[in-house]
Amino acid sequence: MALLQRTQRFLRLSSKYIFYTCRCFSDATKLTSRRDKIKQGPGLKDFIIGDSEPVLLDRPHIPYLPENVTFASKRKVYFDVYGCQMNLNDTEIVWSILKKEGFEKTEIEDEADIFLVMTCAIREGAESKIWHRLDHLRGFKRRRALKNKEKPVKIGLLGCMAERLKTKLIEKEKAVDVVAGPDSYRDLPRLLALTDSGQTAVNVLLSLDETYADVVPVRLNQDSVSAFISIMRGCDNMCTYCIVPFTRGRERSRRAASILDEVRHLAEQGVKEVTLLGQNVNSYRDASADTGRCDTKLAKGFKTVYKSKKGGLRFADLLEQVSAVDPEMRIRFTAAHPKDFPDEVLDIVNDRPNMCKLLHLPAQAGSSAVLQRMRRGYSREAYLDLVRHVQRRIPGVGLSTDMICGFCGETDEEFEETMTLLQQVDYNVAFLFPYSMREKTAAHRRYQDDVPEQVKKQRHARMIDLYRQKSQTLNEAEIGNTHLVLIEGAVHKTGQLLGRNEFYLKVVFEQQEILTQDNSKKTMKPGDYVAVKIVGAKASVLSGIALYHTSISEFYREVSWGERNVLRV
Ligand code: SAH
Ligand code: SF4
Ligand code: F3S
């Protein structure tokens, strides 16, 4: 009953929204009035979706799009991916959906019939890149129309920028034919079919439960030794600077069973590393699976803006199961919010040799006052307590962070606190950003974007300088140590092999024959684990000499993670 009431309220509130966000533009089929459109809109049943049922079936019936569209087939799609790792995984979901409908993929622009651009809206700069790409695609489309009328080009914008700008995108950029938000990818075959008759189609409806759990992503790079798996979508944290909750909607977790199936499937394909993805993976909860375990409380000094979840299968439980699928498969996860890092998660990372010992603890700022304006739910002191706790619980753990400078009202003194935090904590990896005001966010409503661009630039440059100096020192300290490296491929220019260590740092080394576990000699290839002695260090890459072929279990058999710096050869 409560669900019914909630759904009815949602429908009342959203009838205008649905009309606005999900219309198809066509001179031929322009609908006559707003009332007509609402009448043709979805009914209550379209929003009542059981957990066991996919949100939309294979050939989705979207009530506000005409039925009489034919599905295009054998059309070649060119993908452009911008933004975070989640966008890469979403593109693999899109490709899976389109492939099933008979579309083909191409990496050659001239062969393409459809360009699909997976967009990002996190900062102004991310969107500018996409506008530039659209300039190019508009020209390409015009030239193709002059050259070959039989083979017109269609352009689709997908993802976060599509969701943020909705129909405004088409008003601003007439060359765009399709706009699809992160929760409407199942609808893409139909949206693309609509464009065959010269229509423009938009579906940016966000869902409360779409997780694409039943869509097996088709990897864009089948040769890659690593893969990404989205375990949840959306975000409920509402940090005041961030657009993500508005572009990706409410947080929802994918069922554990479908995640585990995907991990097994990837292991069978020879994938050696998976990264579990979400905006805040440690608030993962599969309500359909009850483990009977107690809930963990937030650590002292951390607050959350939403109600803590009760029961179900937690992130720690998921990690335990995922890391058990294949002990020779490395497991990483990102992103995590510092507010919920229970000891259960830390212990699994510490105890399982295949759990990579790099934790992403995005601080965002070093000043408690700025953190409060950002609504991060912790102070500098609470964050530092967490860092010390994590370091005690996982000896030798690596840390990474995200930091923003120039947030609304950030004074020189407040910025210096970010610098001292960067100085104090030895981050192995840091992603550093100048603040970019986003419409709709709480900061946009509440604060002034009052730090001048020039000052943001200077602060950003100072953060980068400090981070580079510190990583240089940290990396130099690794010279002489032996790292477990997973080989990814070769460096284009030099032909040297390139792999990643536990901390996801690049390690380069020469190809040669090295000892295998059965004492024969073999050259190295992508997907091999090798022990590499570090002999040189730059701020973002290590160089080494490969010593012998190994495996995760073999490498950590004699030397535990905490003692890994003992030279073995
Ligand atoms: N959910 C993840 C990542 C979110 S987006 C997390 O919370 O860690 C990646 C990063 O972009 C954020 O961590 C933040 O540092 C940065 N970011 C988000 N909004 C921004 C904005 N408006 N301006 C500048 N950087 C921003
Ligand atoms: Fe954005 Fe905060 Fe959610 Fe990360 S946790 S996606 S920064 S709102
Ligand atoms: Fe960008 Fe959306 Fe990812 S805004 S960072 S693509 S979640």
What number of other Cβ atoms are within 10 A of residue 59's Cβ? Answer: 10
The pLDDT value recorded for residue 294 is: 58
Answer yes or no: are the C-beta atoms of 122 and 244 closer than 8 Å: yes
Q: Is 122 in the pocket of ligand 1 (CB under 6 A)?
A: yes
| 234 C-alpha to ligand 3 centroid (Å) | 10
Place 148 in a pLDDT band, splitting at 50, 70 and 90: confident
Q: Is 463 in the pocket of ligand 1 (CB under 6 A)?
A: no
Ligand 1, atom 12: closest residue by C-alpha: 402
Place 176 in a pLDDT band, splitting at 50, 70 and 90: very high
Q: Select from 122, 235, 302, 378 the residue to mutate for testing ligand 1; criterion: most ligand atoms less than 8 Å from CB.
A: 122
CATH number of 76-203: 3.40.50.12160
Q: Is 158 in the pocket of ligand 3 (CB under 6 A)?
A: no
Helices (H), 224-357: 244-248, 256-268, 315-325, 343-351
Asked if the model's pLDDT at residue 46 lies above 60, the reply is no
Place 288 in a pLDDT band, splitting at 50, 70 and 90: confident
Q: Is 435 in the pocket of ligand 1 (CB under 6 A)?
A: yes
What value, to the nearest 5°, has the Cα angle with vertex 176 and ends 174 and 179? Answer: 125
| 514 C-alpha to ligand 1 centroid (Å) | 43
Ligand 3, atom 3: closest residue by C-alpha: 84
Place 295 in a pLDDT band, splitting at 50, 70 and 90: low
Place 43 in a pLDDT band, splitting at 50, 70 and 90: very low
| 123 C-alpha to ligand 1 centroid (Å) | 9
Domain ranges of the chain: 76-203, 221-356, 364-476, 482-564
Which CATH number does the domain 482-564 belong to among 1.20.120.160, 2.40.50.140, 2.60.40.420, 3.30.70.330?
Answer: 2.40.50.140
Asked if the model's pLDDT at residue 249 lies above 90, the reply is yes
Place 36 in a pLDDT band, splitting at 50, 70 and 90: very low
Q: Is 83 in the pocket of ligand 3 (CB under 6 A)?
A: yes
How many Å apart are CA 249 and CA 529, to the nearest integer? 39
| 122 C-alpha to ligand 1 centroid (Å) | 7
Place 425 in a pLDDT band, splitting at 50, 70 and 90: very high
Ligand 1 atom with least separation from CA of 402:
15
Answer yes or no: are the C-beta atoms of 261 and 396 closer than 8 Å: no
- Write the pLDDT tens digit of every residue in 501-537: 999 999 999 999 999 988 999 999 999 999 999 999 9
Q: Is 337 in the pocket of ligand 2 (CB under 6 A)?
A: yes
Of the ranges 53-62, 239-248, 433-442, 547-556, which one carries the lowest mean pLDDT score?
Answer: 53-62
Asked if the model's pLDDT at residue 58 lies above 60, the reply is no
The pLDDT value recorded for residue 485 is: 98
| Fold adopted by 364-476 | Transcription Regulator spoIIAA (3.30.750)
How many Å apart are CA 313 and CA 295, to the nearest integer? 10
pLDDT, mean of residues 164-173: 93
Answer yes or no: are the C-beta atoms of 473 and 454 closer than 8 Å: no
**The model's pTM:** 0.87
**Ligand in closest contact with the CA of 439:** 1
Q: Is 335 in the pocket of ligand 1 (CB under 6 A)?
A: yes
The pLDDT value recorded for residue 61 is: 44
The pLDDT value recorded for residue 563 is: 58
Place 558 in a pLDDT band, splitting at 50, 70 and 90: low
Nearest to 360 by CA among 72, 84, 551, 31: 84
C-alpha Rg value of the chain to the nearest Å: 25
Place 311 in a pLDDT band, splitting at 50, 70 and 90: confident
| 63 C-alpha to ligand 1 centroid (Å) | 35
What value, to the nearest 5°, has the Cα angle with vertex 60 and ends 54 and 65? Answer: 140
Nearest to 467 by CA among 385, 536, 401: 401
The pLDDT value recorded for residue 303 is: 80
Q: 221-356 and 482-564 share one CATH topology?
A: no
Report the phi/psi class of residue 166: left, alpha or beta, with left for phi > 0 and alpha for psi in -120 to 50.
Answer: left
Which CATH number does the domain 221-356 belong to among 3.30.750.210, 3.20.110.10, 3.40.50.450, 3.40.228.10?
Answer: 3.30.750.210
What number of other Cβ atoms are within 10 A of residue 320's Cβ? Answer: 19
Place 196 in a pLDDT band, splitting at 50, 70 and 90: confident
Q: Is 240 in the pocket of ligand 2 (CB under 6 A)?
A: no
Tell me the percentage of the chain whose pLDDT exceeds 90. Answer: 77
Asked if the model's pLDDT at residue 371 lies above 90, the reply is yes
- Write the pLDDT tens digit of every residue in 83-134: 999 999 999 999 999 999 999 999 999 999 999 999 999 999 999 999 999 9
The pLDDT value recorded for residue 13 is: 34
Place 68 in a pLDDT band, splitting at 50, 70 and 90: very low
**Ligand in closest contact with the CA of 374:** 2
Q: Is 349 in the pocket of ligand 3 (CB under 6 A)?
A: no
What is the C-alpha end-to-end distance of the chain, expressed in Å? 67
Asked if the model's pLDDT at residue 63 lies above 90, the reply is no
pLDDT, mean of residues 149-166: 94
